[in-house]
Structures are given as structure tokens and as C-alpha cells.
Structure 1
Amino acid sequence: MSFEEGDHVVLHDEHSEYDGETGKITQKVETMFGDANYTVSFDDGQEAGVPEDNLEEADVDEE
């Protein structure tokens, strides 16, 4: 599944301090191999260079 800027996602990366947290995609960067890496912002920081395989669509109700 491909994500776009503004999507809410759950990060799954046991090496990240944000593992299991829900954040918002603020940037999508295509690699030279055609894959995408994402920057995900959280309430207290951000994680950059996140591969698509480490993200899951979050079930968030926006008001």
C-alpha cells in the first residue's frame, strides 16, 4: 500500500523510540529504485527515512 502526505500511520520499528505510535506522514521521497521512504511526524518528534514496510494505516477519526 502506498501512503501520501497527510496520511495517519502506525510505525512498526523495534529500533525506533516511536515503535507502535501513530503519526502523520509529512514527506514522501521516491528512491532511485522506485521505492518510497517517508518522514513521519509524532507529537514529540519525527522519524525520517521510514520504508513503506514499516508502516500500517492508522484508524484515526479526524474532526
Structure 2
Amino acid sequence: MSFEEDDRVILHDEHSEYDGEEGQITQVMDTMFGDSTYTVSFEDGQETGIPEDSLEAVEDEE
């Protein structure tokens, strides 16, 4: 599953201070290998270069 800017996601990265937190994708960057990495903004900062498999989509509550 790929993500787009403004998607809400949960980060799963035990090495990140934002592990388990919900954030919003602010930038999608394509790598030379055809993969995408993401910049995610959180309430008190941001994390860059996040691979797709470290993110989980947040279900809409509508």
C-alpha cells in the first residue's frame, strides 16, 4: 500500500521517538530503486526518510 501527502498514519519504528504515534504525511520522496520514503509530521516534530513498511494507515472515523 502506498501513501499520499496528507494521509494520517501510525509510525512503527522502535528506534524512533515517535514509535506508535499518529502523524500526517507531508512529503513523499521516490528513491532511485522505485520505492517511496515519507516525511511524517507529528504534534511535536517530524521524522524523514520513513519506509512504507514502517507505516500503518489510520482508519477514517466517519
TM-score > 0.5 by shorter chain: yes
Give how far 1:60 is off: 4.3
Give how far 1:36 is off: 0.2
Aligned counterparts of 1:37 and 1:60: Cα–Cα separation in 2: 23
What percent of counterpart residues are identical? 69
- Measured on the aligned residues, the alpha-carbon RMSD in Å equals 1.2
Which segments of 5 or more consecutive residues in structure 2 lack a partner in the other structure? none
Task: State the one-letter code of the partner of 1:3.
Answer: F
Counterpart mapping for 1:17-56 below 5 A: 17-56=17-56
Deviations 1:43-63 (A, max 9, x none): 00000000000000012448x
Deviations 1:4-54 (A, max 9, x none): 000000000000000000000000000000000000000000000000000
Aligned counterparts of 1:16 and 1:48: Cα–Cα separation in 2: 11
Using the size of structure 1 for normalisation, the TM-score is 0.93
Aligned counterparts of 2:11 and 2:41: Cα–Cα separation in 1: 10
Which segments of 5 or more consecutive residues in structure 1 lack a partner in the other structure? none
Aligned residue-pair number: 62
Name the residue aligned to 1:15.
15
